[in-house]
Amino acid sequence: MLKNIVLFSILFFLLPTFILMPVVNVKAQIVTNISVQTAYNMINNNIQYLNLVIHDVREQSEYNENHLCNAILIPVSEIDIRISELNSYKNTEIIVYCKSGYRSAQASQNLVDNHNFTLIYNMLGGIDGWISEGYTVCTDGQPNIDFNVITFSIILFSTMILIIMFFKKKLLRIRK
């Protein structure tokens, strides 16, 4: 009799509970936060990260001011409507960055959660951190190298000395 009660309980109470439980889809992808130094190393490692994509999520005006060389600009507010531009990179390493790291964190999570990207790296510190480390940035596709007055003066002075020495030697040869 006790067996019948237990069997009855299982059939009418526990079994329907398991059958009616919703199926939960758990996503295993996560965003990997990386330092500016790690991003720099990844960008400069053309062997391990052959197809690396650099994704700038700032606005056009910020991008025009400076950006990481070879970066693709898709602002965070436009990712969902322009996702087709990134779809071919779903299983490719993508470094996502912004000014300081806040917008890139949002964009990175969006790419993983809503668009099933698998290899997203959020660059902590953003381009501000990149610049503070002294790494090169581009403007209009060209490297923006800080060339201050002191460096220019030293190069100019050295060049002038070399020219003077060259002509001095030449004049000495002519006189002999």
CATH classification (class only), 32-151: alpha beta
Residues 96-123 have pLDDT tens digits of 999 999 999 999 999 999 999 999 999 9
Q: Give the residue, 82 or 158, on which the prediction is more confident.
A: 82
Estimate to the nearest angstrom the gap between the alpha carbon of 155 and the chain centroid.
35
Angle at 60 between CA 55 and CA 61, to 5 degrees: 130
- Residue-by-residue DSSP string for 44-59: T-TTTTTT-EEEE-S-
Give the mean model confidence (pLDDT) for residues 48-63. 95
Q: Give the residue, 46 or 71, on which the prediction is more confident.
A: 71
Q: At a CB cut-off of 8 Å and minimum separation 6, what does 34 contact?
A: 42, 95, 121, 122, 123, 124
Please check the confidence at residue 67 and state whether its pLDDT lies above 90: yes
**Three-state SS at 64:** helix
Backbone CA torsion sign across 160, 164, 167, 173: negative
As a whole number of angstroms, the distance between CA 164 and CA 152 comes to 18
Mean pLDDT of the chain: 82
As a whole number of angstroms, the distance between CA 146 and CA 155 comes to 14
How do strand 53-56 and strand 137-139 relate by DSSP bridges?
unpaired
Question: In this predicted structure, what is the pLDDT of residue 8?
Answer: 46
Please check the confidence at residue 19 and state whether its pLDDT lies above 90: no
Domain boundaries, the chain: 32-151
Question: In this predicted structure, what is the pLDDT of residue 3?
Answer: 57
As a whole number of angstroms, the distance between CA 137 and CA 139 comes to 7
